[in-house]
Chain A
Amino acid sequence: MTEKLIFEHSRPGRAAAAQVPAEAPTIDDLPAAMRRDTPLGLPEVSELDVVRHYTRLSQANFSIDTHFYPLGSCTMKYNPRACNTLASLPGFLNRHPLAPASHGQGYMACLYELQEMLKTVTGMAGVSLTPMAGAQGEFAGVAMIKAYHEARGDTERTEILVPDAAHGTNPATAVMCGCKVVEIPTDSDGDVDVDALAEKIGPKTAGIMLTNPSTLGVFEQDILTISKMIHETGGLLYYDGANLNAILGKVRPGDMGFDVIHMNLHKTFSTPHGGGGPGSGAVGVSKRLLDFMPIPVVGCSGGGDDPRYHWLDETDVPHSIGRLSAFMGNAGVLLRAYVYARLLGREGMQRVSEFATLNSNYLMTRLKSAGFDLAFPDRRASHEFIVTLKRQKAELDVSATDFAKRLLDYGYHAPTIYFPLLVPECFLIEPTETESRETLDGFVEAMVAIWNEAKNDTATLTEAPVTLPVRRLDEVTAAKNLDLKHDAAAQDTRSVA
């Protein structure tokens, strides 16, 4: 990449005169001992330097706003501009989190309605919006399961069952909550192996963590059997909402028997995603976990023409697992999710899952016709599906990595690769509902073109990407000797004030 750091553009004394405050701020009220005695070391650049630098960086972005981004298990759908515009209204932006509830009734009304909509669409009895990311939502979910058993004096339940196809965050969450992970194998159709499950459940079972549709891109056919088995043994069911986009408005986790669910609002409800989000991992619970929800939750009294909103705290949620953030999670992100849900409405939400699965099945069928191997050829795709490039690896010695890197040259973000771990040389492809047929066709053509290249010109493939600002990375060195520090002292062109 040729673009220098903003610090490397710095020249002593250069400034953006128009941006300098007319009056220099005074620091008289700051004790002398608290003041810096060296300059801050900010870059000294002109306004045009700054504009060009950041414009060039933005042009190097490979994002949903510039490219098709079929990253499986991530739901990289388009973020409608309206969500951002409405969440940025001055009344929302200027609200202070410490202001009394009477001054934030509009904002709280939005959150209350979002809670209610998420309850309806997931079939859960309560929703708390406060977790600030998917991983925190997962943590909240398993912490609630644990708190539930402990409140009943059922302290021997320390095992969390996790299918071997699960997201890595599931076992990580269980361990973070002090539980032991018990792995459940998958059968040849991609479903949980129910016989193996029967052998692993018992008086130590705290719960099971499932994603449905699973990470293998198929709907768990025996979910009601599994749900019954777990409840009969005294455990609870946790739903990882990663793949909620596939069933939105069609099937509800609450109706499948799940006791707790986390939703990735940054996936299913289209809030900004990637590059750090920030995310939002709202949790929904069944009746038995209502008293354990993380706070704050928005409550409503009055109703009718005069609803009054207030924060529910420890007195309202007596066994709450506590607070996960200082205030109300990622407040602005929740607003964006609210606007998205309101823009869609009930029927719109159903169309989301219909088109997400239609696009996925269309893309799967076209890739299969083009000769690619599917991991589960006999199953219908959910909102995502898996292609395995094992045959291409064996016959042509080109890997899933090579295909993925070359796709970037063709203008497509690579799908998720080498996950789930069960499927060798795999592509987990999730087109989402916001892509047109032309885009999907273009992706198929690129895949076919790359396969043809693999047959004739392996060199380009193993060197790809060849057209981007950054070429093939040395992932081993990057993982072992990560060095992100800019040595300002070595290149110090600052003036001393």
Chain B
Amino acid sequence: MSEIPKDLSYTKTHEWVSNDGDGTITIGITEYAQGSLGDLVFVELPEAGSKFAAGDAVAVVESVKAASDIYAPVEGEIVEINEDLEESPERVNEDPFGQGWLFKMSIVDPEHLADLLDAEAYGEIVEAEQD
């Protein structure tokens, strides 16, 4: 079973979300997601300032196996991207919950975060996919 930190929120599409408390959130992909994708070779991130609705495709991660869309977990605006990933996409594989974060968003309504999954509910999704 892959690591699923208890203090983060999750989406069905394998993004993790950290509530940074100041109206912004940090988004990355989970340990399970990076393991399924395999070695990343390219990460395409949005421009700071672009706005997205929940469920919009925001970024693309590409591995030797596949290219996969990353979705906005809630409505918001991109405030920062992890520029380190342009040169070193392997950070996502090495440290998905840390240095491999993808982007930060300022969110429209903190209540939207309540719609996300907790670690337990996300764990059930991962388990179902592995059966």
Interface residues of A in 438-484 (CB under 8 A from B): 475-476, 479-480
Asked if B66 and A475 sit within 8 Å, CB to CB, the answer is no
Residues of B contacting A107 in the complex (Cβ-Cβ under 8 angstroms): none
Asked if B66 and A479 sit within 8 Å, CB to CB, the answer is no
Residues of A contacting B90 in the complex (Cβ-Cβ under 8 angstroms): 476
Cα separation A77 to B129 with both chains bound (whole Å): 34
Interface residues of B in 44-60 (CB under 8 A from A): none
B114 in the interface, Cβ–Cβ < 8 Å?
A: no
Interface residues of B in 115-131 (CB under 8 A from A): 129-130
Cα separation A390 to B129 with both chains bound (whole Å): 11
Cα separation A419 to B65 with both chains bound (whole Å): 8
Asked if B64 and A475 sit within 8 Å, CB to CB, the answer is yes
- A421/B64 contact (C-beta < 8 A), A475-B39, A476-B39 known: no
A104 in the interface, Cβ–Cβ < 8 Å?
A: no
Residues of A contacting B65 in the complex (Cβ-Cβ under 8 angstroms): 418
Asked if A480 and B41 sit within 8 Å, CB to CB, the answer is yes
Cα separation A479 to B68 with both chains bound (whole Å): 16
- Please encode chain B, from 88 to 131, with 1 for each CB lying within 8 Å of some chain A CB and 0 for all others: 01100000000000000000000000000000000000000110
B2 in the interface, Cβ–Cβ < 8 Å?
A: no
Interface of B is mostly: mixed
Asked if B36 and A479 sit within 8 Å, CB to CB, the answer is no
Residue picked from A168, A421, A480, most chain B C-beta under 10 Å: A480
The one of B36, B42, B68 in contact with A424, judged by C-beta atoms closer than 8 angstroms, is B36
Cα separation A479 to B43 with both chains bound (whole Å): 13
- Please encode chain A, from 286 to 303, with 1 for each CB lying within 8 Å of some chain B CB and 0 for all others: 000000000000000000
Residues of A contacting B67 in the complex (Cβ-Cβ under 8 angstroms): 168
Residues of A contacting B64 in the complex (Cβ-Cβ under 8 angstroms): 475-476, 479
Number of interface residues of A (CB under 8 A): 11
Asked if B42 and A421 sit within 8 Å, CB to CB, the answer is no
Give, as a whole number of angstroms, the nearest-CB distance from B93 to chain A: 10
Query: What bracket does the count of chain B residues touching chain A fall in?
Result: 10 to 19
Asked if A476 and B66 sit within 8 Å, CB to CB, the answer is no
Interface residues of B in 70-91 (CB under 8 A from A): 89-90
- A476/B36 contact (C-beta < 8 A), A418-B65, A418-B66, A421-B66 known: no
Residues of A contacting B41 in the complex (Cβ-Cβ under 8 angstroms): 476, 479-480
Give, as a whole number of angstroms, the nearest-CB distance from A215 to chain B: 13
Residues of B contacting A421 in the complex (Cβ-Cβ under 8 angstroms): 66, 68
Residues of B contacting A480 in the complex (Cβ-Cβ under 8 angstroms): 41-42, 89
Cα separation A470 to B36 with both chains bound (whole Å): 26
Interface residues of B in 1-60 (CB under 8 A from A): 36, 39, 41-42
Q: Which residue of A lies closest to B65 (CB)?
A: A418
Cα separation A479 to B89 with both chains bound (whole Å): 12
Give, as a whole number of angstroms, the nearest-CB distance from A308 to chain B: 50
Cα separation A418 to B89 with both chains bound (whole Å): 21
Q: Which residue of A lies closest to B36 (CB)?
A: A424
Give, as a whole number of angstroms, the nearest-CB distance from B77 to chain A: 21
Q: Which residue of A lies closest to B87 (CB)?
A: A480
Q: Which residue of B lies closest to A400 (CB)?
A: B65
Q: Provide 21 A-B residue pairs closer than 8 Å at the C-beta atoms, listed in order of the A residue.
A: A168-B67, A390-B130, A394-B130, A418-B65, A418-B66, A419-B66, A421-B66, A421-B68, A424-B36, A424-B129, A475-B39, A475-B64, A476-B39, A476-B41, A476-B64, A479-B41, A479-B42, A479-B64, A480-B41, A480-B42, A480-B89
Which residues on B are within 8 Å of A, measured CB to CB? 36, 39, 41-42, 64-68, 89-90, 129-130
Which residues on A are within 8 Å of B, measured CB to CB? 168, 390, 394, 418-419, 421, 424, 475-476, 479-480
- The 3 tightest CB contacts between A and B, nearest first, are A479-B41, A475-B64, A418-B65
Taking A421-B68, A475-B64 as given, write out 19 further A-B residue pairs in contact, using a Cβ cutoff of 8 Å, ordered by the A residue number.
Answer: A168-B67, A390-B130, A394-B130, A418-B65, A418-B66, A419-B66, A421-B66, A424-B36, A424-B129, A475-B39, A476-B39, A476-B41, A476-B64, A476-B90, A479-B41, A479-B42, A480-B41, A480-B42, A480-B89
